[in-house]
Chain A
């Protein structure tokens, strides 16, 4: 089926089986490989993208449900200007191997939209669906808490 949606501000259309995973459409059809596949069953959050602003696991979303929606991936988050959370992740050392990082940035950006100065607890809740096996999370939480503070300072 032909599915049309807005991807990172650009109108796109793909010809794909309707049950194809949004993750595969992004990576294979649109060559946006920033979103990673970790577990493929909605546990790890590495494939997190935003659909109409809300973070979702793109491995669990059939592309048929994306018709007419606004999708943002890590490529769109950092373009044209690198997002504050991306800068903060670099500054604090919140990224190590990097597989979880795009998903973390997408979940964090969604949080910062509604809560620009989140408490560590709010960050832990917002990132509970993004697993990281490198950082121990503390530097990630530091990055998200301070992301917009840095900019305003």
Chain B
């Protein structure tokens, strides 16, 4: 039986949500609850009050602009899987989050702001050069995914800000998502990868669960673009990742698997 007497505030508009956040910077922000409820049950989170964004209008839409897609932060993984035109790389990630019951509640914004280094969708945002749209009573600003996760569970977000949407530009290239966990569903990643590669032009090799934040292997990316061999790229990936030993895996295993994921992907790409 969960004992949490914290009051819950449920904004009915985005502006009301910003006003609440400005008035209550100490509040815990709740969306689908799939992380917050676990923290409450485990006693690691003792909120004084809660702002509940579940059902807040305007946050659960997928919109299309001339430059790409805009995902509402309140979209669930199931929403992504059901939407006709959601990005294939994001669909692959959404399908690996928990299982159906979790996907029905877990939100994109929750995954991003919870900022677990193992968050399954996080490397996707890096690979897609996404921008996070943060809003507050003072206005809006955009932060590139590449600069959002500053350290272990540290994010570039002010106490009065809320994540409203994720902007994804239209990009071409080969793409690949791979999650390695103990089991196909309901497992937390040992290693998670999202990659994008336009031959000879641009590469993004993004990993989760191999460092304190989701991260890119920039030296390996540069080598790949400049035509280095797969062996060289893989070797750089293995050097660049920063894994640790923990309850889910070992640093050595993660380092090897990170390289292996990239090797298998590149091995199977059509030669340019």
Interface presence of A34 (CB below 8 A)? no
Size category of the B interface is 20 to 34
| A129 contacts B37, C-beta separation under 8 Å | no
| A61 contacts B33, C-beta separation under 8 Å | yes
| B100 contacts A41, C-beta separation under 8 Å | no
Would A64 and B100 be within 8 Å (CB), given that A21-B37, A41-B41 are in contact?
no
Return the chain A residue nearest B99 by Cβ: A129
Q: Give the docked Cα–Cα distance between A59 and B33 (Å).
A: 10
Interface presence of B55 (CB below 8 A)? yes
Chain B residues with Cβ under 8 A from A21's Cβ?
1-2, 37
Interface presence of B5 (CB below 8 A)? yes
Q: Give the docked Cα–Cα distance between A28 and B257 (Å).
A: 46
- Produce 1/0 per residue, B44-73, CB < 8 A to A: 000000101011000000000000000000
Q: Give the docked Cα–Cα distance between A23 and B6 (Å).
A: 18
Distance from A99 Cβ to chain B, minimum over Cβ atoms (Å): 16
Interface presence of B98 (CB below 8 A)? yes
Q: Give the docked Cα–Cα distance between A44 and B105 (Å).
A: 16
Contact pick for B99, options A17, A24, A45, A54, CB 8 Å: A45
Would A107 and B100 be within 8 Å (CB), given that A18-B8, A19-B6 are in contact?
yes
Return the chain B residue nearest A63 by Cβ: B8
Q: Give the docked Cα–Cα distance between A105 and B40 (Å).
A: 28
Q: Give the docked Cα–Cα distance between A40 and B10 (Å).
A: 25
Interface presence of B116 (CB below 8 A)? no
Q: Give the docked Cα–Cα distance between A60 and B76 (Å).
A: 15
Distance from B167 Cβ to chain A, minimum over Cβ atoms (Å): 27
Contact pick for B55, options A19, A28, A65, CB 8 Å: A65
| B186 contacts A62, C-beta separation under 8 Å | no
| A24 contacts B52, C-beta separation under 8 Å | no
Chain B residues with Cβ under 8 A from A62's Cβ?
8, 30, 33, 37, 52
Return the chain B residue nearest A67 by Cβ: B10
| B52 contacts A64, C-beta separation under 8 Å | yes
| A56 contacts B37, C-beta separation under 8 Å | no
Distance from A71 Cβ to chain B, minimum over Cβ atoms (Å): 13
Q: Which of B5, B7, B38, B99 has the most CB of A within 10 A?
A: B99
Interface presence of B102 (CB below 8 A)? yes
Interface residues of A (CB under 8 A from B): 1, 17-21, 24, 28, 40-43, 45, 48, 51, 54-57, 59-62, 64-65, 107, 110, 125-126, 128-131
> Apart from A42-B34, A54-B104, A57-B101, what are 16 other A-B pairs with CB-CB below 8 Å?
A19-B6, A20-B4, A42-B98, A43-B186, A55-B101, A57-B34, A60-B33, A61-B105, A62-B33, A62-B52, A64-B8, A64-B10, A65-B33, A128-B99, A128-B184, A129-B186
Instruction: Kindly list the 3 A-B residue pairs having the minimum CB-CB distance in the complex, ordered from nearest.
Output: A129-B99, A128-B185, A18-B8
Cβ contacts A to B, 21 pairs, < 8 Å: A17-B5, A18-B6, A19-B4, A20-B2, A24-B1, A24-B2, A41-B41, A41-B42, A45-B101, A51-B104, A57-B105, A61-B37, A61-B105, A62-B33, A64-B52, A65-B52, A126-B100, A128-B185, A129-B101, A129-B102, A129-B185
